[in-house]
Amino acid sequence: MHYGEIIVDADLCNKLGDSAKYPYLRIVFPLLADTVYIHRLVYDEIMMSAQVKEQIHDLISEGIMQIVDDDDLDTAESMVYTSTWELLAKRMMNPDKPRKNRGEVASLSLAKTRSIPIFATDEMNLQPIIDAVLNTGMNDIHCLRIIDLVKQIKAGDFPSLGRRDAKLIWLIAGKKKEHFDQDVWPLEDK
């Protein structure tokens, strides 16, 4: 499925972009959305590999990706952002580890403020938190994970990508080959 706007998390960027040979971050993001936002905090978290930053810079120069920050918000948006941050921080942040989950809280706060419907992340247990804290039936936010991306490829949502691409994405993301071949996309399901 193609979206107008999505916002991304560091873990998904790191997983999709951590291969110089297969630059799936650069391949997949334009297929997913017209505009891909990355919060400044998340951008600053991405330190794993030069490939990831390089692909992000390419996407920025092509006008597909934008770095956003809460400094970009007007007064009314800042109020929504701050109250959303506070709600999420109570649920997701540990005062003993203040940096943990900051990127997710910032991205989700911006998504709620700007009505960005998709948060591209590979965090397994985040959707129930979003549903409990943020989703009210209006401008709901949904997580898009690696498994969802693979299912979209399997469904034919991206005709330029096939099973081989889905499997490479799966493996580059550090997931088990056996799980992919047996459960996610068995060969007989070609």
- Predicted confidence at residue 189, as pLDDT, reads 58
Q: What is the pTM of this model?
A: 0.92
H or E element in which residue 113 lies: helix 102-114
Overall average pLDDT of the 138-150 stretch: 95
Average pLDDT of the chain to the nearest whole number:
93
Residue 190 banded pLDDT, cuts 50, 70, 90 = low
∠ CA 165-14-31, nearest 5°, is: 45
